[in-house]
Amino acid sequence: MERKIRIGVCVMEKKVSSAPMVQILERLEAFGEFEIVIFGNKVILEYPVESWPICDCLIAFYSTGFPLKKAEAYAALRKPFLVNELKQQHLLHDRREVYERLKIIGVPVPRYALVNREVPNQKLDYFIEEEDFVEVHGNRFWKPFVEKPVDGDNHSIMIYYPSSAGGGMKELFRKVGNRSSEFHPEVRRVRRGGSYIYEEFLPTGGTDVKVYTVGPEYAHAEARKSPVVDGVVMRNPDGKEVRYPVLLTPTEKQIAREVCIAFSQSVCGFDLLRCEGRSYVCDVNGWSFVKNSHKYFDDAACLLRKIFLEAKAPHISSTIPPILPWKSHEAVQPSEGLTRAGSGLIDTFGQSEELRCVIAVIRHGDRTPKQKVKLKVTEEKLLNLMLKYNGGRPRRETKLKSAVQLQDLLDATRALVPRNRPGRGSDSEAEDMEHAEKLRQVKAVLEEGGHFSGIYRKVQLKPLKWVKVAKTNGEGEEERPVEALMVLKYGGVLTHAGRKQAEELGRYFRNNMYPGEGTGLLRLHSTYRHDLKIYSSDEGRVQMSAAAFAKGLLDLEGQLTPILVSLVSKDSSMLDGLENASVEMDEAKARLNEIITSGAKAGHCNGPSEFPWMADGVGLPSSAYELLSRLVELTKKVTEQVKLLAKDEDEKVMDTSGDDVNPSYDQAKALGKTNFDVDRVAAGLPCGSEGFLLMFARWRKLERELYNERKERFDITQIPDVYDSCKYDLLHNAHLNLEGLDELFKVAQLLADGVIPNEYGINPQQKLKIGSKIARRLLGKILIDLRNTWEEAISVAELKNNQDQDSKSKSSEWDDKDYHLKHPRKNEDGRRSSTTSDKSIDQEDDDDKETQYRLDPKYANVKTPDRHVRTRLYFTSESHIHSMMNVLRYCNLDESLAGEESLLSNSALQRLCRTKELDYMSYIVLRMFENIEVDLHDPNRFRIEMTFSRGADRSPLEKSRCETPSLHQEHILPIMGPERLQEARSSLTLEKMERMLRPFAMPPEDFPPPMIPHGFTGYFANVLERLVNWRRSPKHANGGDR
């Protein structure tokens, strides 16, 4: 018998005894062709290399304490075959060298720049740090950005967040217990104690991918929850980090090959970031094994055997024997049917149905009242400030949002606010007194919270008057502003209650919207079978609601800023703004004003009397005018009481050194809070960060604008704001015991219940017109979501049918070395994308589509690994919720749809007619189910289910009977459960949904071009061709259908 090949294992004992190494070495030994020689720490650290065991092949790699140069000397002396080259391992200790090597071989890395310091805190003329960016050699990196030490063994990596998201820093580190990162809200400046790499932050949807090579032709990949999100390590019952094997795309497999060869490391691990259809390498680790996969251990042992035999015994066949010489003891985990079963909310249609898509449009959570202060300023300090931030242009307006800008404004305002108010005997003009009061209000707003979080306050300075003055150098004249309009917008902040509401609703969705068993959505999401995207408008309260919801949905921990930056995408064009319907809304408000102030009766019906929702001005109380007068009277009463409280507070402030007052409330820290400030409430102060001065300013503004005494004119547009303030103070400031507030709320609610819905249209036709203009883009996106889901499900079903017909040939496709699954989907916005890679003419219809990452069916022990659930969550404001609901209710009234029945049932229309408010956290949900027993081409194979919730539509005066008393005591109103928009067991097809909504939705071709995913070749060309031809058929080709 031939001498066995000696394999030397020259690594630290801690690494030799690790479970993966033990498993793989045992398998190698079981082949009977190898002798394993373990050097041990004593030999490695104490013996000269001449005394080290002689071997044919050497496994050696660096870890803490390992003498790499000594190992190099041994290799030079004995010349064994090296699995991983030793000299190249020095590169892995310097992130600069790693990135440079990756760039040379053409492997994508995040955009980055180097800051090299010879000594700590060395000043560098090429490095600039501002509040929201750093600049290195002219390359600007806006927050969020990543800061990495150049030392590859230093795992303290920082992510800095923008002030617009609340600011702060998250530190990533090697796992300590169940933590892998910590968020520090107070840290905003970068480190200066060493040399660092700065790189752009790439949003990956909260998932990282680890890739493990064994030779250049093999790569295994696993996905895990990214430490960027909340820093909590998910572990299985055995204490191992939860990871799921995923398929690599062809481009990613080529990257793995290039990394393996470039660093001469056959066994190598590296980190992939998947972002917007592209993959980037952000770290190369060197020798790494998968931690807990018996299938991988088998593969690794077979591949290493092949490597060793080809290097030292090429005459021995490296063909894998039909029966492996060891018995695998891989534990079989129970599979989980995550998409099986019916709808949960509505009647189950049977076990043949599978959930395919969840689309939700959700209003933000409870917020503080929105406020605005306007004043004309002539003070030199403020005018100079305007010039400072508008580039010295006297006629250009300036917007101040950053912490530095707002701090400058606060300093200027503090210098201008008089320390003492003039008494009643003062000769000061009333106008000057009002100006001083407004400056005080500006100062109070800027001081509110004790820190500029940058997300809830903004100031505009607009020049109004100019004069010409001589230039300072005496050469000619220049313009100087002498008066400007200052507009300060503040408030609208998501409260502690709003955060808790959003988080609770996320939890509710996790447990109820995804029918299944076991760990449900969390496992579904982790396995890449959950295609989740969260969108938000530009408003801070909406963004934070989305982040809090994601926290509950995905069972995350920690503060909201990292979750917001990692998981939420802003799309203001789709979820913000009323400009497109401003003319129609002004008409509706004018008609409303006419009905209310004239005392005319609302409710003239344009349709059959049995359909009350067809009336003009439905919902307005018959005694609206009398109620309006009472509203003014009660508003004055409440304002007077708050004025006295504000006066007491002001006197206390005046007794202290005005400029040294440090507000006790830190809004930045409050971003993650879900409980109100007990100490403030106990001290008799308003809840949250609002002081009595700002509370009085809020009520005084409402009193003045609700009724103009000089003109004897009501402004009905103030009714929703009065209602808003009443509800807020009853919920959060009930401890102040404002007399008459209860009655004021009841009167305001009666009026608001009629006014708010009718602001979006006096009658169904006008509601439909306004709704389609506001929600046009959102509706278009939802139709794209549904159509993409349909196309993907059809392609998967066809593939499965083909596999069933020819299981042998199709199973070989799964075993192809690229073993990837690619679906012919449209991009996220519905547009086809393409690349310039070489391809034949026959491949043109299979240009690169949106990247669809998949679970690896070879390694993942779960059911239907090829099935996906798509979730799209759209967080927005009241206007878009009302608009979308109005289109769903009244779309059949459009002339192009004459004779069509409503998408909603009559009972749902009745309920909506009685629904007075779509309150905080109200939502509309569309879920698509596929009945896998129905023929592929039958429209009834897919059905859409629609539900809605009125949100936290409960009066703060109402004592809760079913919820725990703590909810009311904690200032939180519960969210109402979902209600059907269709009859039970009804079947709404995608075809009908598209036909009914398409006239009001933005066509797919009007959406902007998508990001182009790279590196994909066609896999379902024949299926795609059928889909393309289907879309080009006469039935679907006319403009009206698009």
- What is the Cα–Cα distance from 312 to 557, expressed in whole angstroms? 52
b/e per residue 708-726 (b: at least 16 CB within 10 A): eeeeeebebebbbbbbbbb
In the predicted structure, residue 382 carries a pLDDT above the cut 50: yes
Beta-strand pair 81-82/179-184: unpaired
What pLDDT sits at residue 831?
42
Q: What's the mean pLDDT in 84-111?
A: 96
β-strand partners of 458 = 489
What pLDDT sits at residue 867?
64
SS3 862: coil
Contact 850, 1010 (CB under 8 A): yes
What pLDDT sits at residue 1031?
39
What pLDDT sits at residue 526?
58
Q: What's the mean pLDDT in 840-857?
A: 45
- What is the Cα–Cα distance from 60 to 588, expressed in whole angstroms? 77
In the predicted structure, residue 840 carries a pLDDT above the cut 80: no
* C-alpha distances in Å from residue 761, one per residue of 284, 754, 765, 913, 916: 59, 11, 8, 14, 14
In the predicted structure, residue 424 carries a pLDDT above the cut 60: no
Provide the pLDDT confidence category of residue 319 given band limits of 50, 70 and 90.
confident
Q: What's the mean pLDDT in 40-64?
A: 96
Provide the pLDDT confidence category of residue 84 given band limits of 50, 70 and 90.
very high
Contact 324, 962 (CB under 8 A): no
Contact 369, 725 (CB under 8 A): yes
Contact 869, 355 (CB under 8 A): yes
- What is the Cα–Cα distance from 110 to 279, expressed in whole angstroms? 9
Q: What's the mean pLDDT in 894-918?
A: 89
Average pLDDT along the chain = 83
SS3 352: coil
What pLDDT sits at residue 864?
56
pTM of the entire predicted model: 0.82
Instruction: Give the pair of three-digit tokens for residue 562.
Output: 């990292």
DSSP class of residue 151 equals B
Contact 58, 308 (CB under 8 A): no
In the predicted structure, residue 1029 carries a pLDDT above the cut 80: no
| Cβ neighbours around 678 below 10 Å, total | 10
What pLDDT sits at residue 650?
65
In the predicted structure, residue 691 carries a pLDDT above the cut 80: yes
What pLDDT sits at residue 989?
94
String of DSSP letters for 56-111: SEEEE---TT--HHHHHHHHHHH-PEESB-SGGGGGGGBHHHHHHHHHHTT-----
Which among 763, 767, 765, 786 is positioned nearest to 775, based on CA atoms? 767
In the predicted structure, residue 823 carries a pLDDT above the cut 80: no
Q: What's the mean pLDDT in 492-510?
A: 93
Count of H-run helices and E-run strands, the chain? 31, 31
For the chain, the distance separating the N- and C-terminal CA atoms, rounded to the nearest angstrom, is 75
Provide the pLDDT confidence category of residue 315 given band limits of 50, 70 and 90.
confident
- The rounded Cα 412 to chain-centroid distance in angstroms is 37
Which among 547, 574, 541 is positioned nearest to 920, based on CA atoms? 541
In the predicted structure, residue 54 carries a pLDDT above the cut 80: yes
DSSP class of residue 333 equals P
Instruction: Give the pair of three-digit tokens for residue 591.
Output: 């008609």
- What is the Cα–Cα distance from 47 to 74, expressed in whole angstroms? 11
What pLDDT sits at residue 899?
81
* Least confident span in 345-349, 353-357, 728-732, 994-998: 345-349
Q: What are phi and psi of 339, to 5 degrees?
A: -115, 5
User: pLDDT: is 823 or 591 the higher one?
Assistant: 591
Instruction: Give the pair of three-digit tokens for residue 350.
Output: 């049977």
What pLDDT sits at residue 666?
43
- CB proximity list for 296: less than 8 A, separation 6 or greater: 212, 220, 289, 290, 859
Q: What is the pLDDT of residues 208-261, one digit of tens each?
A: 899 999 999 999 999 888 899 888 888 777 777 888 888 888 899 999 999 999
Residue type, 998: R
Q: What's the mean pLDDT in 374-387?
A: 94
In the predicted structure, residue 337 carries a pLDDT above the cut 60: no
Beta-strand pair 458-470/398-400: antiparallel
What pLDDT sits at residue 458?
85
Instruction: Choose the most confident range, by mean pLDDT, from 615-629, 650-664, 892-906, 922-936.
Output: 922-936
* Least confident span in 104-108, 503-507, 930-934: 930-934
In the predicted structure, residue 733 carries a pLDDT above the cut 60: yes
In the predicted structure, residue 307 carries a pLDDT above the cut 90: yes
What pLDDT sits at residue 580?
82
Provide the pLDDT confidence category of residue 968 given band limits of 50, 70 and 90.
low
What pLDDT sits at residue 423?
54
Backbone dihedral region for residue 944 (phi beyond 0: left; psi -120 to 50: alpha; all else: beta): beta
Q: What's the mean pLDDT in 114-140?
A: 95
Q: What's the mean pLDDT in 837-858?
A: 44
What pLDDT sits at residue 837?
31
Q: What's the mean pLDDT in 559-563?
A: 91
What pLDDT sits at residue 724?
95
- What is the Cα–Cα distance from 197 to 90, expressed in whole angstroms? 18
What pLDDT sits at residue 595?
87
- What is the Cα–Cα distance from 981 to 985, expressed in whole angstroms? 12
What pLDDT sits at residue 344?
34
* Least confident span in 85-94, 300-309, 634-643, 847-856: 847-856
In the predicted structure, residue 205 carries a pLDDT above the cut 50: yes
Instruction: Give the pair of three-digit tokens for residue 293.
Output: 């996969």
What pLDDT sits at residue 672?
44
Which among 516, 523, 526 is positioned nearest to 353, based on CA atoms? 516
* Least confident span in 13-27, 74-88, 167-181, 963-977: 963-977
Burial class (CB in 10 A: 0-12, 13-18, 19+), 852: buried
Which among 569, 568, 564, 574 is positioned nearest to 454, based on CA atoms? 564
What pLDDT sits at residue 808?
47
Provide the pLDDT confidence category of residue 676 given band limits of 50, 70 and 90.
low
What pLDDT sits at residue 341?
30
In the predicted structure, residue 932 carries a pLDDT above the cut 70: yes
* Least confident span in 278-292, 317-331, 432-446: 317-331
H-helix or E-strand containing 626? helix 624-654
In the predicted structure, residue 816 carries a pLDDT above the cut 50: no
Contact 249, 79 (CB under 8 A): no
**What percent of the chain is predicted at pLDDT more than 90?**
56
- What is the Cα–Cα distance from 453 to 670, expressed in whole angstroms? 10
H-helix or E-strand containing 122? none
* Least confident span in 142-146, 257-261, 434-438: 434-438
Angle at which helices 540-553 and 496-512 cross, to 10°: 40
Contact 634, 642 (CB under 8 A): no
